[in-house]
Amino acid sequence: MAILIGLLNVTLTATTSVLVLLARERLHLGAVGYDALFTCEAAGALLGSAAGDWLIRRVTATWTIRIGLLVEAGMHLTLAPPAAPTWLGS
C-alpha cells in the first residue's frame, strides 16, 4: 500500500510540475490566473482531506485508493493531449 501511494504521489508531482507550462502556453493564463488555478487545486486537496475519512467509512480503504487512481488517471488523460497540430491550421 505504501509503495502504491508513493507511486501515486510521484505521478501527481510530475503532473503538477508541468502545470505551469499548461497554464501559460495552452490556457494563456497570466500570474493571476495561475494563482487562481493553484488556489482551486489547494481547495480541492483540503476538501479531499476532509472527506477522506468519511469516504473510507462508506466504502473501504481499497476502494478509496481505486477511486483516487481513477480520478488521477482521468486528470492525466485530460492534461495529456497535445495542443492542435500546426498542420491543422490553428
From the centroid of its chain, how far is CA 54?
21
Is residue 4's pLDDT more than 80?
Answer: no
Round to whole Å and give the CA distance between 22 and 43: 20
Interval 22-49: pLDDT, tens:
888 888 888 898 899 889 989 988 998 8
User: Contact at 8 Å (CB) between 15 and 74?
Assistant: no
**Percent of the chain residues past pLDDT 90, beyond the cut:** 10
pLDDT score at 39: 93
**Percent of the chain residues past pLDDT 70, beyond the cut:** 89
